[in-house]
Structure 1
Amino acid sequence: MNVPKRTTYDICQRVDSANSITKKPDSGRPTKKMPKKKVTSLIADAHGKLCVSLKKLGRKYKIEKKYVSNILKKEGFSRKV
C-alpha cells in the first residue's frame, strides 16, 4: 500500500497506549495567510508581465514561490499570452 513502516508502527503504538489514531486538531505548523491588500498587490505586479518570475515575486513579498503560485491559481490568474 506504499505506507512507510514507521507510520504503521506509530499508529500501532498510539492504539496500544489508548490514544486516538487521528491527529489532534491544530497540531503541526501554523499557517500564515497574506492579507487581501497584499494579495491584490501581488496580482497587480504579476498582471501582464511575462518576464517576472514566481521566485522574484516571492522574494519581494517574503513568501515561498509555491505560495505565490497557489495564490495566482486560486485567483484564476493565467500567465499565458
Structure 2
Amino acid sequence: MNSLSTTDSAWRGWLSEHGTGSVVDGVVVQQLPFGAFVEVAPGIHGLLVTGGGAAPAVGARLTVRVEQIDVEQRRFSLAAA
C-alpha cells in the first residue's frame, strides 16, 4: 500500500484549494537575482519573478497571484497582486 508523503499531501491539498488566478498571502523565504521564493503555505513555495526589479526582502509579507501551475513538476509561478 502506497501512502502519500506529507509533502505530496500538502501539495495536493494546496492545489485543491488554489488554481491559476488565485490570490494568496505569503512570506519571502529566499531572494534570487531574478525574483524570490514565496512560501504560501507550510512547505509550499512559489517563484515570484520580479523582471529585473529588486526582489523583496526575506521575511517580507506579500499578496501574490498564482500565474501558472506545473502539476507534474510541482511548481508554480507568482506575480504581485
Q: What TM-score, normalized to structure 2?
A: 0.29
Structure holding more helix per residue:
1
Give the structure with higher Rg (CA). Answer: 1
Structure holding more strand per residue:
2
Higher RCO (CA < 8 A, seq sep 6+): 2
